[in-house]
């Protein structure tokens, strides 16, 4: 068993975030050198963990769980530092490069704060932001939308970005008409039995609905998350109720399960004071 007995870095000033950051970097550096698990990791091997940490952050934001939110932000910071240390080891870049690059980018993209550019409102800021990103060498305004994003969120980000350069509907009624049009096309392909075309049309329906939600000030990814959470809570209520009854769900009729589902809905309303 490996045992390094490295002294724990001292907390120089618990009220100073810069001092705490330096201590944290020192801790992660020590772990990278002396912890067998940390020492064998690579940027690739822990990449998926970062995605998980982001989603845990988002969960706590929606739960309004600030203590958990603070903890998950710390986990994200751990990943940023660890990835930077690994990159430095292979001669790619270091933590100072990461911070300097972020600082320079914020200054460049905020000429209305650090320069003499005039803006009328937040929409002006957004339009300038996209123009400045193109000046940084991007070939398309869509270059910054990760393919690995959840696809509802990716659709929203694509639509949001192209709207910044004027590629958007002016009238919300046209957006909802497009939704109805896409649903009709999906039904047609389903009726004809062409599954491949139906798959494409289903994607068009989702894309149109995401766009309609955006025009209404809603985020489709968030809306679906709320629905998934609601369904999960109600279904688990059914499971617990059936278990208390000493029965198996498979042996119960849909009508019986629906009745318990309605109980779950009523319980939600009672808890919400409705």
Quote the CA–CA distance of 244 and 242 in Å, as a whole number: 5
Q: Which residue has the tokens 């990835």?
A: 83
Domain extent for 236 = 222-272
- Residue 133 forms part of a structural domain: yes
Angle between helices 195-215 and 172-192 (to 10 degrees): 160
221: how many CB neighbours lie within 10 A of its CB? 20
Q: Are residues 46 and 87 in the same domain?
A: yes
Residues 229-243 have pLDDT tens digits of 899 999 999 999 999
Predicted pLDDT of residue 4: 66
pTM of the model: 0.66
On whether residue 21 sits in a domain, the answer given is no
**Full 3-state SS string of 153-196:** HHHHHHHHHHHCCCCCCCCHHHHHHHHHHHHHHHHHHHHHCCHH
Which residue shows structure tokens 């649903």? 183
Would residue 18 count as lying in a domain?
A: no
In a domain, 150, yes or no: no
Q: Give the rounded percent of residues in the chain with a pLDDT score beyond 70.
A: 98
| 222 close to 244: Cβ distance less than 8 angstroms | no
Q: Is residue 165 part of a domain?
A: yes
Tally of CB atoms within 10 A around 260: 19
- With respect to residue 25, please indicate whether it lies within any of the assigned structural domains: no
Is 54 domain-assigned?
Answer: yes
Instruction: Give per-residue pLDDT as tens, 164-181.
Output: 888 899 999 999 999 999
Residue 248: inside a domain, yes or no?
yes
Assigned token pair, 217: 């000030």
Q: Do residue 47 and residue 81 come from a single domain?
A: yes
Indicate whether 173 and 208 sit together in one domain. yes
């Amino acid at each position: 068993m490996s045992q390094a007995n490295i002294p724990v870095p001292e907390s120089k000033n618990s009220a100073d975030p810069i001092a705490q950051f330096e201590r944290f970097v020192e801790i992660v550096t020590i772990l990278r050198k002396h912890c067998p698990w940390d020492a064998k990791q690579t940027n690739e091997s822990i990449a998926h963990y970062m995605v998980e940490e982001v989603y845990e952050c988002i969960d706590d934001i929606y739960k309004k769980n600030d203590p958990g939110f603070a903890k998950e932000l710390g986990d994200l910071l751990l990943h940023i530092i660890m990835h930077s240390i690994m990159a430095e080891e292979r001669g790619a870049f270091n933590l100072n490069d990461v911070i300097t690059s972020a600082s320079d980018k914020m200054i460049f993209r905020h000429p209305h704060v650090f320069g003499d550019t005039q803006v009328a409102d937040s929409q002006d800021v957004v339009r300038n932001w996209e123009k400045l990103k193109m000046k940084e060498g991007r070939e398309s305004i869509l270059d910054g939308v990760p393919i690995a994003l959840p696809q509802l969120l990716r659709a929203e980000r694509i639509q949001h970005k192209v709207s910044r350069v004027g590629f958007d509907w002016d009238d919300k009624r046209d957006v909802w008409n497009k939704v109805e049009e896409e649903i009709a096309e999906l039904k047609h392909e389903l009726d004809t039995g062409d599954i491949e075309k139906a798959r494409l049309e289903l994607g068009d329906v989702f894309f149109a609905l995401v766009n309609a939600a955006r025009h209404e000030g809603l985020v489709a990814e968030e809306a679906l998350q709320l629905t998934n959470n609601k369904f999960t809570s109600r279904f688990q209520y059914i499971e617990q109720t059936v278990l208390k009854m000493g029965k198996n769900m498979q042996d119960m009729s849909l009508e019986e399960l629906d009745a318990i589902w309605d109980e779950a809905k009523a319980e939600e309303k009672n808890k919400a004071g409705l």
